[in-house]
Amino acid sequence: MNAILTMIAQRLALGVLTLFIVSLIIFFSVSLMPGDYAEAILGQAALPDTVRAFREQLGLDQPAYVRYFQWLGGVFTGDLGTSFSSERAVTELIGARFGNTMFLAAYAALIAVPLALVLGVLAALYRNSFYDRTVNVVTLTTISSPEFFLAYVLIMFFSVGLWNGSEMIMGGFFPPIANVSDDVGFWERVYRTTLPAVTMTLVIVAHMMRMTRASIINLLASPYIEMANLKGLTKSRIVFKHALPNALAPIINVIAVNMAYLIVGVVLIEVVFVYPGLGGLLVDSVSKRDIPVVQGSCLVFAAVYILLNLTADVLSIISNPRLLHPR
């Protein structure tokens, strides 16, 4: 137990250091964005003195390192600054959108994780069969396709539909735009976000399915599995009772990594479906050159990704304590 707590403390310290380095990259990358917010707001006809005064008001006239440490100090106190465009607190803007992003990611995870485990276990049970080859081809095709392409294909088939003259042959099942708000009920929200969730599922299920399949196939060659075969145990009993529990460490790791992708990889999905999440807020803020919102959104994405990777390490070691003592 002490070894696990020590490992968690080490991972947390490494995560904080990583987040600090990422904050540097975020701040100075955002500072290199083309264009100037003051000139974009005031217009090309604005006088230089007016632009200079506006930049001083926003604090953009200060050196980059001064602005960075001011921003970092605010991060430690929970203050991510104030939006240039709306003049609202960045934490307020992010908080309103982050819940929507988490809902969409959780919905996709509830579909993707059980589906990937079932497909992976069945692919291992029927290795090299027609089913195994078919599942591998389909999942590799979906993972190789861009998210926005899959999104538009799903919209075409399940929203716009296929038409034969004036008669719809197929489609109209789900709305093409996932517009949700606080007054939308739970089941209505689930209905409106089904297509975005399915799109994200198609993107990530291949990783988890193939890792499940590979882990179980690797364990099926172990001596204790051969002994179970000699005892006459059924193949399904061997997989579910003996192989799957010992294959949990790599499976949990790849699931947690894909959960991190669900959180940070929703930007394109939210833009395509006009979903009011954190990814959509980030894209809108970039187009408006709203620097505080861009920095805050990127930092939240980075923090969630690092935290989920830490969770993956901890769960992998808890499921297989031998990982604490690598050879």
247 located within any domain: yes
Provide, rounded to the nearest whole percent, the portion of the chain with pLDDT above 70: 86
Cβ neighbours of residue 222 closer than 8 Å, sequence gap 6 or more: none
74 located within any domain: no
Burial class (CB in 10 A: 0-12, 13-18, 19+), 272: buried
Paired with 170 in beta bridges are 162
CA-based radius of gyration for the chain: 24
> Which runs of consecutive H residues, i.e. helices, occur in 32-47?
37-42
Q: Give the number of other CB atoms < 10 A from CB of residue 124.
A: 23
The residue range of the domain holding 100 is 2-34+80-324
pTM: 0.80
Looking from the CA of 274 toward its CB, the CA atoms found within 13 Å total: 8
CATH of the domain at 130: 1.10.3720.10
Backbone phi, psi, residue 78, to 5°: 80, 15
Q: Give the number of other CB atoms < 10 A from CB of residue 307.
A: 16
Spatial separation of the C-alpha atoms in residues 15 and 148, rounded to whole Å: 31
291 located within any domain: yes
- Contact at 8 Å (CB) between 84 and 58? yes
136 located within any domain: yes
Which residue type is seen at 212? Answer: T
CA 316, 318, 320, 325 torsion-angle sign: positive
59 located within any domain: no
pLDDT, tens only, 51-83 = 777 777 777 777 778 888 888 888 888 888 888
pLDDT, tens only, 123-177 = 887 888 888 888 888 888 888 888 888 888 888 888 876 655 566 566 678 888 8
- Contact at 8 Å (CB) between 175 and 159? yes
Residue 290 Ramachandran class (φ > 0 left, ψ -120 to 50 alpha, else beta): beta
pLDDT, tens only, 79-112 = 888 887 777 888 888 888 888 888 888 898 889 8
- Contact at 8 Å (CB) between 306 and 294? no
46 located within any domain: no
**Is 43's pLDDT higher than 70?**
no
Distances (CA, A) of 248 to 91, 105, 110: 37, 22, 18
Which residue type is seen at 188? Answer: E
Spatial separation of the C-alpha atoms in residues 212 and 208, rounded to whole Å: 6
212 located within any domain: yes
In the three-class reduction of DSSP (H, G, I as helix; E, B as strand; rest coil), residue 86 is classed as coil
23 located within any domain: yes
- Contact at 8 Å (CB) between 299 and 282? no
Count up the domains in the chain and report the number.
1
Record the tokens describing residue 87, joined without a space.
């003049």
Q: Which of 21-30, 48-57, 220-229 has the highest mean pLDDT?
A: 21-30
The whole-number average pLDDT for the span 19-38 is 79
- Residue with the bigger pLDDT between 323 and 71: it is 71
Q: How many residues does the chain have?
A: 327
Spatial separation of the C-alpha atoms in residues 140 and 161, rounded to whole Å: 25
